[in-house]
Amino acid sequence: MTKKHSVKRMQLPKFKRRLTSAEEFQIMSMVLDKFLWIGAGLMAWGLFQAIGGDGNTGLYFILTGAIVLVLFSVVIVREFEHLR
* Residues 33-75: tens digit of each pLDDT: 888 888 899 999 999 999 988 788 899 999 999 998 898 888 8
Calculate the alpha carbon distances from 74 to 10, 69, 71, 79, 80 in Å: 40, 9, 5, 9, 10
Please give the full DSSP string across 9-44, using - where no structure is assigned.
Answer: PPPPPSS-PPPPHHHHHHHHHHHHHHHHHHHHHHHH
Does the residue 52 lie in any domain? yes
Rounded to whole angstroms, the Cα distance separating 79 from 84 reads: 9
Phi first, then psi: what are they for 32, rounded to 5°?
-75, -20
Question: How high is the pLDDT of residue 16?
Answer: 73
User: What total number of domains does the chain contain?
Assistant: 1
pTM above 0.95, yes or no: no
Does the residue 37 lie in any domain? yes
| Residue 67 structural domain | 32-83
Does the residue 56 lie in any domain? yes
| 13-33 pLDDT per residue, tens | 667 778 787 887 788 778 878
